[in-house]
Amino acid sequence: MRKNALIIAALAAIAIPATAAANNGHGQGHGQGHGPKAVSYIFKGSYAGGGSVDVNHGNGHVKRAGLVDTTVQFDLSSAKLTVADTNGDGTVDANDVATGDQVLVQARLPKSDPGAQPFAAKHLVDQTNSPD
């Protein structure tokens, strides 16, 4: 019995490093160490001021998250803004988006659960005051 235990221990000692070497970080364990998969959420609605949008449409991710017909808060500080310089101050920023403007907001958020608001906006397009 003792001899069998030694043989099993020796085989296990040989098998474990071989398995680890075969994996070498590729293949098995895909997705480990990475956060949840991020996808594009596209929100459409009316700008409510202060980074808030009254969402009345959205892509499938927005709909599945139950965010249609709600007011969603966005962090616009690092978002690309496509809007005319409506206040004439020489810079295009969030102050150029007026309450009531029709906007489209893109955000990269986790697929299964967008998380807590405010969502970091990647891009805001003011469809009422386009830069043309």
Stated pTM of the model: 0.73
Q: What is the rounded distance in angstroms from the CA atom of residue 123 to the CA atom of residue 105?
A: 6
Tens of pLDDT, residues 56-113: 999 999 999 999 999 999 999 999 999 999 999 999 999 999 999 999 999 999 998 9
DSSP label of 94: G
**Lookup: tokens for 118:** 């405010």
pLDDT tens, 13-44? 665 554 444 445 554 445 566 778 999 999 99
Strand partners of residue 119: 74
Average pLDDT, the chain: 85
Q: Which domains does the chain have, with CATH numbers?
A: 38-126 (2.40.50)
Residue 114: name the closest of 16, 58, 38, 20 by CA.
Answer: 38
The CA distance from 70 to 54, in Å, is 6
